[in-house]
Amino acid sequence: MRRFPVRRLSDCHSVDDFRELARAKLPAPVFHYIDGAADDEVTRNRNTAAYEDCDLVPNVLAGVADIDMSTTLMGRKIDMPLFLSPTALQRLFHWRGEKAVGAAAQTFNTFFGISSLATVSLAEIGASIASPKLFQLYVHKDKGLNAALIQAAKAANFDALALTVDTIVSGKRERCLHTGFTSPPRLTSSSALSFAMHPRWTLNYLGRERFSLPNLEGHIAAGSNAAISVADYFNTMLDQSMDWAMAEDIRKAWDGPFCLKGIMSVEDARRAVAIGATAIMVSNHGGRQLDGSRAPFDQLAEIVDAVGDRIEVICDGGITRGTHVLKALSVGAKACSGGRLYLYALAAGGQRGVERTLANLRGEIERGMKLMGVTRLDQLGRANLRWRD
């Protein structure tokens, strides 16, 4: 139960604090788009709860004055083992959107993901952000669009490409059905009061540069000039014939560090190795797709055991604490990533909010390492964990 009110950015000491401030600052349809998930949201809640099924076992008297939490991921050294997953529509959460998130990631020298459904162009991000950048590709029915997105990411000097593989159809996001959330936002009788009660958000949305999906709008109007729900976008625009052969063709076309986002089974992890992927993100899309699926952390050990010596394994989703990161790394993940953990902060305070949540989480990782008696990430292992019955 929450004990303290959260009224300003300085009150935010955890992901849950940022969530509360985001709820206060955003119109209901926008907040529930970030916060919601598929069906009964069982998997969304399980993603975080899974970390509580095992405990950390610390060692002491290890001399931990100097801590190194850096790691190398997809060919780039990053200063912390946590990065910002690609997420769509960020200028709906704060008017600077991906520009604010990218600048915060650069401050902490960690990877920053840009979605195909980004609200800032790949070229602008490439020109302004020097730290590691990951482009996330949704495979559209329009093959010309797919090729243009890959070429734009190359031209903008992105370091890696992540192909999302778990959105063949959209999950049933019931909160969005209730609120009528679309991109761009559509004023309805049910949402009008919420927009009116959040005048700062509404003035920023109406008074700043026009909202659009600049990496897509030269090919399709949906999402920029024609309002559409995310579910309808996935179900009508994305290529449901995508298969392993197509994924391998995309890897070859990209010809650089290549990640598959949405791997949850050992069989698929082995196939990722077979097509030459650099990394996999063990992810269920934040519980927004197949409700009732397992949590990434629950699948992590068997995937690491099967392929961890041949491919970089990233644990994506459900992370709200630095100790969650330490648990995943102890199982064998190379790094962790998340979306909501920084989207709440973006909504709460723009770039300053994202920087504050990264500082909080980095501090928790460093403090946890010292309390566990480790000075480098490669000292973490399964001996540091005990699972509950």
Instruction: Please identify every residue annotated as catalytic.
Output: 285
The token pair that represents 187 in the structure block: 């004023």
Which tokens hold the place of 292?
A: 């009732």
Instruction: Count helices and strands (H / E) in the chain.
Output: 15, 12
d(CA 78, CA 310): 20
271 contacts: CB under 8 Å, gap ≥ 6: 244
DSSP assignment of 363-374, as one string? HHHHHHHHHHT-
Virtual CA dihedral for 136, 138, 140, 146, nearest 10 degrees? Answer: 20
Q: Are 67 and 368 in contact (CB under 8 A)?
A: no
Phi-psi domain of 286 (left: phi exceeds 0; alpha: psi -120 through 50; beta: other): left
Report CA torsion sign: 77, 83, 89, 92. negative
Task: Give CA–CA dist 268/262, Å, rounded.
Answer: 10
Q: What is the dihedral of CA 353, 358, 360, 365, to 10 degrees?
A: 170
Neighbours of 23 (CB within 10 A): 17
From the list 27, 84, 331, the residue with the least C-alpha distance to 203 is 27
- Burial (CB count within 10 angstroms: exposed 0-12, middle 13-18, buried 19+), residue 230: buried
Query: In angstroms, rounded to a whole number, what is the distance separating the alpha carbons of residues 313 and 296?
Result: 11
Which residue carries 């392929």 as its tokens? 307
Helix (H), strand (E) at residue 301? helix 296-307
Largest CA distance in the chain: 62
Separation of CA 246 from chain center: 24
